[in-house]
Amino acid sequence: MKQLLNRLINHETITKQEARDVLVNISEGKYNSSQIASFLTVYMMRSITVEELEGFRDALLDLCIAVNLKDYNPIDLCGTGGDGKDTFNISTLSSFVTAGAGVNVTKHGNYGVSSSCGSSNVMEHLGIKFSNDTDFLKRCIDKAGICVLHAPLFHPAMKEVAPIRKALAVKTFFNMLGPMVNPAFPKNQLVGVFNLELARMYGYLYQKTDKNFTILHALDGYDEIALTGTTKAIRNDTELMLKPSDFGVQPLKAEHISGGNSVAASAKIFMDVISGRGTEAQNNVVCANAGMAIATAKHLNPKQGFELAKESLESGKGLNALETLITLSKN
C-alpha cells in the first residue's frame, strides 16, 4: 500500500486491475485504517479515472452476496448522494411510487454518510426489515412490487471501510460506486450523480453493459431531478436536457425540496408525501423522478412517465406498496 500511496500522491493513476486488487485487499483486512483513510482521501482531491472506477466496481460486484431477482425485471433508483443539498429522501419515495405504478423495484441503499439521513435510516425508522434472504425479498416484490437491499448485508467485504467512512463524514468514491453495485444486478437503472464529469463516466461504463439506463445530473448540482432548473439525462441512445416544463410543471426553489435535519423529521416528510399530504412541490419532484424511472423501464417519454407516477401517488398505490412492505417486515 505504501508504494501505491506514493504513486497516487505523485498524481499518478492506477490501472483497472490495480484498483480491483486494492479493494480485494481491503476486504481481506490487509491494510490498516490509516492507510485506507489516506487512500480514500486521494480521491477527494482529484478526479477518479474511468479505469479506476471500473476496477473498484468489478471488485465490489465480485465480492458481493448476489441475489437473483432477474425474473422480476426490476429497476433500481439510486443516487450517489454527496451533492451537499440535503433534500428530503426523494429517490426513496420515488421508488415506492414507481412500485405503485407496476414497475418492480430492487432499492439499493445505505445509511447516510455525507448527509444526515440516507435511505436506510428512514426505512429502518418506518419499520422496514433489512434482509438478504432471497425468499423474503421475492415475497416483498410479489406482494409490494419492491424490496430493499441494504448495502452492508450484501457487501460484507466492505465492513472494514464503513467506520472509516463514518468517521470521515465526507463523500468518498464509495458514493460514486453505490448505484453501480446493486447485488440484484437489475437490468433497468435510474442513477443520479453529483457532478457532470461523473455522469459522463457512468454513461461510458453503462454503454458497455446490457442495462437499460438513465443517468441524471441537475446542472445546479443535485444528484436527481430537482425541478429547480435543467437536468442532464443520459439514456442508452440519447442525451436530453430536461426542464420542469417537460413534465408539465413550474420550476421550484431549493427551499421547496429541503429535507428533515433528523431521521424522525425525514420520516415525517416521507410519510406526509407518500400519504398524499405533501406540498405540490414535494409531489412534483417525487413524480418527476419516479416518472423517469417508469419511463426508463417502459420506454416512455418523461411526461408519460410523470403522469403514471402521479396516478400512483394520488391513488394511494405508492402508499400501499410501503404499507405492504412494513407488514411483511413484521412476519
SS3 33: helix
Give 76's strand partners: 189
The confidence score (pLDDT) of residue 217 equals 97
Q: Name the phi and psi angles at 138, rounded to 5.
A: -65, -40
Decide if pLDDT at 91 tops 70. yes
Binding residues for anthranilate: 79, 110, 165
State the Rg of the chain over Cα: 19
What are the E-state strand segments in the chain?
75-79, 105-109, 146-150, 188-192, 212-218, 231-235, 239-242
Same domain, 18 and 153: no
The confidence score (pLDDT) of residue 86 equals 80
The confidence score (pLDDT) of residue 82 equals 76
The confidence score (pLDDT) of residue 160 equals 86
Same domain, 74 and 57: no
Decide if pLDDT at 171 tops 60. yes
**How, if at all, do strands 146-150 and 188-192 pair?**
unpaired
Same domain, 108 and 236: yes
Same domain, 272 and 147: yes
Same domain, 166 and 292: yes
The confidence score (pLDDT) of residue 114 equals 57
Same domain, 8 and 107: no
Same domain, 28 and 75: no
The confidence score (pLDDT) of residue 115 equals 63
**How, if at all, do strands 231-235 and 239-242 pair?**
antiparallel
- What secondary structure letter does DSSP report for 128? P
Binding residues for Mg(2+): 91, 223-224
Same domain, 7 and 150: no
Same domain, 229 and 294: yes
The confidence score (pLDDT) of residue 116 equals 67
Could you tell me the CA-to-CA distances from 82 to 10, 193, 275 in Å, in that order? 26, 9, 28
Domain boundary among 17, 36, 63: 63
Separation of alpha carbons 90 and 192, rounded Å: 11
The overall average pLDDT reported for the chain is 94
Domain boundary among 41, 63, 85: 63
Residues 89-102: b if buried by 16+ CB within 10 A, e if exposed? bbbbbbbbbbbbbe
Residue bearing the bigger pLDDT, 158 or 76: 76
pLDDT tens column, 209-218:
999 999 999 9
Query: Hey, what's the cell of 263?
Result: 431521521
Same domain, 59 and 74: no
SS3 104: coil
The confidence score (pLDDT) of residue 199 equals 95
Domain range for residue 55? 2-63
The confidence score (pLDDT) of residue 169 equals 81
Are residues 236 and 190 in contact, defined by beta-carbon separation less than 8 angstroms?
A: no
Same domain, 175 and 31: no
Structural domain tally of the chain? 2
Decide if pLDDT at 106 tops 90. yes
Decide if pLDDT at 253 tops 80. yes
Residue 11 maps to which CATH number? 1.20.970.10
pLDDT tens column, 186-237:
999 999 999 999 999 999 999 999 999 999 999 999 999 999 999 999 999 9
324: CB partners within 8 A, 6+ apart = 143, 144
Binding residues for 5-phospho-alpha-D-ribose 1-diphosphate: 79, 82-83, 87, 89-92, 107-115, 119
Residue bearing the bigger pLDDT, 18 or 47: 18
Decide if pLDDT at 141 tops 70. yes
Separation of alpha carbons 43 and 17, rounded Å: 17
Decide if pLDDT at 122 tops 60. yes
Binding residues: 79, 82-83, 87, 89-92, 107-115, 119, 165, 223-224
pLDDT tens column, 27-70:
999 999 999 999 999 998 988 999 999 999 999 999 999 999 99
Secondary structure of 129-174 as H, E, C letters: CCCCCHHHHHHHHHHHCEEEEEHHHHCHHHHHCHHHHHHHCCCCHH
Residue 189 maps to which CATH number? 3.40.1030.10
The confidence score (pLDDT) of residue 299 equals 96
Same domain, 13 and 89: no
